Chain A
Amino acid sequence: MATFNVHVTIENKPGISDPEGDTILNDLVLKGAHKTVSKIKTAKMLKFTIKEKDKKAARSKIQKICDELRIYNPMVSTVTIDVFNA
């Protein structure tokens, strides 16, 4: 068994509006001198530390947790899971 750090990023599905990201872009970033920025999306990240036999097992375990416990609502959001060696 090895220890892994797993980052779960929860964000709105593409095509679904993101009022918070839009506000940060339009009312903060573009108000300054940062005209090269064209999009900002907000997301929430959960960082798990987990003991599993390999990266694959860690990933599928975390995906299962997120699905079963409704850590995110699949109607609105997507999750991206990144696994790192601890």
Chain B
Amino acid sequence: MSLEPQELAELKLNIGRDPTSTELQIVAAEWSEHCSYKSSKKHLKMLPMKGPLVIHEKGYDSGVLDVGNGYVVTAHIESHNHPSAVEPYGGAATGVGGVIRDILSAGTRPIAILNGLRFGNIETDKHARWLFKNAVTGIADYGNCLGVPTIGGEVEFDDCYHNYALVDVAAVGFGKKKNLIKNHATNGDLVVLLGGSTGRDGMGGSQFASDSLESEDRSAVQIPDPFIEKLIIEAILEARKQKLINAMKDLGGGGLSCAVSEIANTLEVGIEMDVDMVHTRESNMHPDEIMISESQERMLIITSKTKLKELQKICKKFRISCSVIGHVKSDNQMHVKKGKKTFANLPTDVIVNATLLDLPSKKPVYLKTIEKEKKLRPIFDYSKIMMNFLAAPNIASKIWVYGQYDHEVGIRTVIKPGHDASVLRLDNGKFLSVKIDGNPKQCYINPREGAIGCFEEACRNVVCTGAKPIGMLDHLQFGNPKDPEIFWTFLESLKGLTDFANHFKIPCIGGKVSLYNETPAGPIKPTPLIGVLGLIDKKPLIPQRISDGDCLVIVGDTKDEMGGSEYFEYIHKFIGGKCPSVNFVESKKNMKVVLKVIQSQLLKSVHDCSKGGLAVAISELCMTNQIGCRILLENVPGEKLDVDRILFSESHSRYLLTLDKKNLKKLETMLKKSKVSFKLIGKFRGKKIQFTKGTKSIIDLRVDIAQKTWLNSLKDLVLHG
């Protein structure tokens, strides 16, 4: 929880004296991996950040996209892994709070939350169940109290998260372009701290997040208070409307230390502040404690002297505390005082600019042999396997999770969770489609192809709603970067994402890096999480009910790519094989043509084919529509493969199109013209899910029984063990 010896030496050299204890605390917080990105920053620059719709302003905590007609969408992603691993309820809830304030700090109203949750094996591990249950409740309680809908996300379980939790939260904001905060400050402006009081909770959280969890030092828990957050949202938006905010920053990791130094450095000013002016929850707090406390629900605002009265009036109206803690100076120093006594006085550029590291990387040894498949035990009864599979925690419906979230409040949610991507109605007549995806099982086997796969899957999901991808958020979660093998996986994933983003011209509008995700059993699998935002100009494809006689057409090839598949890992307990890879040309072609046929209104729905493969994707269609199907596996396009591979391969770039028989001819003509690989593989009818190959029946299940298992197994597991 302090600086490393060479960092201390560097600090001394920079300021020409010994730092005070407060200065040490401030610098230690800001130079932690969590705040400084010292291991990753050099490399993150490779991601394309610019695009025709991207709006850049200094000091934004979230990405901003112009969606036309004078409106903007903002988006950000964060994680709260370390806090959630020790206190899942509060950790997950405050994670939501933090990312909401990042959206707010650009001057936009938060309109949606998504979350990606990952835990250990909940089938065997009671502690993992406890973490999962409480994290979900934490998110639900916080989001529901705020009146911001939680519109989607994903949940995954893997042994590598034993005794640990990955809680990622993404948020989306919306507002008028002219109302964006243009961060600026001039000499004499006032620095105001607004919101919750500062206490001893969450002390040193950012450094905590940059250490491995092995140690027993677990003091950094924070208590959520969604009602204060809601008041902050309303107060800030009102102050924004009255143009009372010159600049604004959320207090997150590193507390006041980071917020004050970063805002001063970005705006190229100095700030002098007095810790006695900070409203605290407890008496006798030491200046060091006040500076690094990570108490929740606080915002830092810079306003002019003449506007203070109005700002105070708004705070009074919403009954939230605000205190003037300092003022802006022109000397580029961060000056912390208690009354008259100085506790810290440092140049902001010294605080903010930790020395960036150029860590060594080395291809992990395990990758040499990972693609080799072991001999699998033969499967005789695929129907039985399929029933087990539908009950598997990673495959089973997540309705127990999203059913606890209010996903409709705000009445924007046009496509609700439980489908591929969720869709929000915007005020300019357009629609926004959002999805986050991760796949640590594939990323472990091939960090590059796995990361690209997550990106493509998220794109595929928004394409299924008729949206064109316009921006991407990345959240890169890895183990200890000082291990060259782990750092190699980080770089490979990043390079993959960069290549895909460049090829598809999808700019990265924001992201986060979370390192040192280690459990007592070792590092987590590489877990990049990708969020994609898509824009629909006219009308989203809202899935229509499939009825008797409707056709099922698949676009895209099924390949022998079983590595990291749910089938290998859950049914055969085997980690290895060839990871699915994305063919950029094919991917683009498929995406384009699917968007085109959606626009020509030939389809009832489009479903993405991913986790669990074709068998699961088609069963999902049957179960959600309560209708049977007859699928001819010999018609599935791609290489000639064994039955289990056709059923369960998780090859990318595949879409399942459902449509009325009368539109089939037209669809086939369009698909043929664009030269994509496609085929009619079956029809919907009756009450049974049936897969056949030639004359042989492969899977034969009753839809109602399958549906019951699929819908209830996760809930039963969590509630009854």
Chain A residues at the B interface, C-beta cutoff of 8 Å: 12, 15-19, 23, 70, 73, 75-76
Is there an interface contact between B221 and A19, defined as CB atoms closer than 8 Å? Answer: no
- The answer to whether B218 has its CB under 8 Å from any CB of chain A is yes
For A17, list chain B residues within 8 Å (CB): 196-197, 199, 201, 223, 225, 281, 295
Is there an interface contact between A16 and B130, defined as CB atoms closer than 8 Å? Answer: no
Is there an interface contact between B130 and A15, defined as CB atoms closer than 8 Å? Answer: no
Is there an interface contact between B86 and A15, defined as CB atoms closer than 8 Å? Answer: no
- The answer to whether B228 has its CB under 8 Å from any CB of chain A is yes
Is there an interface contact between B223 and A16, defined as CB atoms closer than 8 Å? Answer: yes
- The docked-state distance in angstroms from the alpha carbon of A12 to that of B130 is 19
Is there an interface contact between A75 and B223, defined as CB atoms closer than 8 Å? Answer: no
Write the nearest CB–CB distance from A66 to chain B, whole angstroms: 14
- The answer to whether B227 has its CB under 8 Å from any CB of chain A is yes
Is there an interface contact between B221 and A16, defined as CB atoms closer than 8 Å? Answer: yes
Known: A15-B282, A76-B90. A23 touches B221 (CB 8 A): no
Known: A15-B282, A16-B221, A17-B295. A23 touches B227 (CB 8 A): yes
- The answer to whether B448 has its CB under 8 Å from any CB of chain A is no
Task: Across the interface, name the chain A residue whose C-beta is closest to B203.
Answer: A15
Chain B residues at the A interface, C-beta cutoff of 8 Å: 86-87, 89-90, 130, 196-197, 199-201, 218, 221, 223-225, 227-228, 281-282, 295
Is there an interface contact between A75 and B201, defined as CB atoms closer than 8 Å? Answer: no
Is there an interface contact between B221 and A76, defined as CB atoms closer than 8 Å? Answer: yes
Is there an interface contact between B201 and A15, defined as CB atoms closer than 8 Å? Answer: yes
Q: Interface majority SS on A: helix, strand, loop or mixed? A: loop
- The docked-state distance in angstroms from the alpha carbon of A73 to that of B89 is 10
- The docked-state distance in angstroms from the alpha carbon of A19 to that of B281 is 12
For A16, list chain B residues within 8 Å (CB): 199-201, 221, 223
Write the nearest CB–CB distance from A44 to chain B, whole angstroms: 13
Is there an interface contact between B281 and A75, defined as CB atoms closer than 8 Å? Answer: no
For B201, list chain A residues within 8 Å (CB): 15-17
21 pairs, A vs B, C-beta closer than 8 Å: A12-B223, A15-B200, A15-B201, A15-B281, A15-B282, A16-B199, A16-B200, A17-B196, A17-B197, A17-B223, A17-B225, A17-B281, A19-B224, A19-B225, A19-B227, A19-B228, A23-B227, A75-B218, A75-B221, A76-B87, A76-B223
Is there an interface contact between B86 and A75, defined as CB atoms closer than 8 Å? Answer: yes
- The docked-state distance in angstroms from the alpha carbon of A16 to that of B221 is 9
- The docked-state distance in angstroms from the alpha carbon of A23 to that of B218 is 28
- The docked-state distance in angstroms from the alpha carbon of A23 to that of B226 is 12
For B89, list chain A residues within 8 Å (CB): 73
- The docked-state distance in angstroms from the alpha carbon of A75 to that of B223 is 11
- The docked-state distance in angstroms from the alpha carbon of A12 to that of B162 is 27
- The docked-state distance in angstroms from the alpha carbon of A16 to that of B90 is 12
Please provide the 10 A-B residue pairs with the shortest distance between their CB atoms, ordered closest to farther. Answer: A19-B225, A15-B200, A17-B223, A75-B87, A75-B86, A75-B221, A16-B201, A76-B221, A16-B223, A76-B87
Task: Across the interface, name the chain B residue whose C-beta is closest to A12.
Answer: B223
- The docked-state distance in angstroms from the alpha carbon of A12 to that of B87 is 13
For A75, list chain B residues within 8 Å (CB): 86-87, 218, 221
For B281, list chain A residues within 8 Å (CB): 15, 17
- The docked-state distance in angstroms from the alpha carbon of A79 to that of B606 is 53
Task: Across the interface, name the chain B residue whose C-beta is closest to A27.
Answer: B319
Write the nearest CB–CB distance from B382 to chain A, whole angstroms: 40
Task: Across the interface, name the chain B residue whose C-beta is closest to A70.
Answer: B130
For B130, list chain A residues within 8 Å (CB): 70
For B197, list chain A residues within 8 Å (CB): 17
Of the candidates B87, B200, B223, which one forms a contact with A19 in the assembled complex, judged by CB atoms under 8 Å apart?
B223
For A70, list chain B residues within 8 Å (CB): 130
Task: Across the interface, name the chain A residue whose C-beta is closest to B196.
Answer: A17
Write the nearest CB–CB distance from A8 to chain B, whole angstroms: 19
- The docked-state distance in angstroms from the alpha carbon of A76 to that of B89 is 10
